[in-house]
Each structure stands twice: as structure tokens, then as C-alpha cells.
Structure 1
Amino acid sequence: MATTRHIDLILINGYLEALDLAVIAQMLDLYIQQSALYLTAINHAVVTVDQKAWQEQCHKMKGAAASAGLTKVHQKLILIEKSAEDSEIKAQHLQALSLLNQQAISAFQQWFTEQ
């Protein structure tokens, strides 16, 4: 099942025990908004060849992904955060990250509909 590959069900189910579904929905909505901003900022870092901004934005998104239980996104960010590769490679990382992020959000939304 795709859901278990993309989200930390132990963490998310723990949230469910402590929080109302409406709060979890707000958390997901906030992550969706924030991740779009992070991806835009990461893209800007690629375009402007700004290593510091790349690391800072990847680091911020890594924390947000971990808090939201998006394991694949978090793992990808661990791998690329300190990357000093050229812009072409970083653009490829960003493309893969964007796809993983969308898949993880979809998996979380699928989990949510099953509750």
C-alpha cells in the first residue's frame, strides 16, 4: 500500500489518539501551504545558485515533513540538504522532491479519508 511507504502511520495514529480529526486536517493543510513555499524557495536557491538558501530551505522543509509524518519526503531531504552539487543536479533533486511531496500528501489525504 502506497500510504505506508509515504507516511509514518505510528506517528499519525498517535496524533489521532491525542487530537481531533479537524486538528489533523488543519495540520495537513498547513503543511501543504508551507511545503509549496519551501519548494518555491528551494527552486529559487537552485536558480540563483545559493548554497546557503538551499540548505536552509531544505532544512526547514525536512522538519516540517518529519512533523507531518511524511517519511519519504523527510528521507529525501536528509539526503539532499547538504548537497553541494551543481544546479542541474539540484534541479533534478528538486523535481524528485516535488513528486515525492505530492505522493506523500496524497497518501496522507487517503489515510484521512479512511478515518
Structure 2
Amino acid sequence: MLYRIAEPDDWHQTQQTGFFASADLAAEGFIHSSEQHQILETARRYYAGRADLVLLEWDEDALAGARVRVEREWVPSRQQHFAHVFGPVPLTAVRRSWPLAATEDGAFRLPHELEAPTK
């Protein structure tokens, strides 16, 4: 699965049109997305203090089935590969969504369903 921290307007538009597209697709030719282990650092770096975000979970197999190309590309500033999605994401590829809001101390937490089980 891939994950996208989405602006509420982009998510609302997705529900109206059936496809997720964001400003980065128009500006850069791809949609930035993350692996699960990259979500919290991305939120901390780029969305500090935001309380209105939506976390989307995308099924990579569904993207491939819809012929939406995904490439993992090296991002030097993060020293990691990130999944870049080269086209609008069909709503049928969105498996789950959650509200994503910073806590009072400004930190983000993964939705309960994505947290690692405790031993």
C-alpha cells in the first residue's frame, strides 16, 4: 500500500470526480506518496500544526490495473526512495482514508489500524 497526506479540498474533489489529483501532479508531473514508515516524518516536515488533513491509503495493485505508473525515486533531501504516482489516482484504488490532525503538542500519530501491534 501507498499513502498520501491529502488536502481536504483535493479529497473532496476526488469524491466528486472519481480521481485524486493534486497540485504536485500539475506542477511536477507526479503525485508524491509515501510508504507507511515515511508518513509521520512527511507530516512533521510539511504539515506541522495542520488539523484538517486526510490520510489516503492507495492499493498499488489497483493503480497498476488502472495503468497508473508508480516509480520509486531517490529523494536526496530525505535519503530514501519515495513512490511517485504518474497520473490521477482512481477512487477505486483508494482502500481507506482517515482524518490526520496534529495533536496539541504538534505531533502526528498514525491511525490505529496502521500502528504496529504492541507486544
Question: Which structure shows the bigger proportion of residues in helix conformation?
Answer: 1
- Whether these two folds match at TM > 0.5 is no
* Higher RCO, Cα 8 Å, sep 6+: 1
Question: Which structure shows the bigger proportion of residues in strand conformation?
Answer: 2
TM-score of the pair, normalised by structure 2: 0.27
TM-score of the pair, normalised by structure 1: 0.27
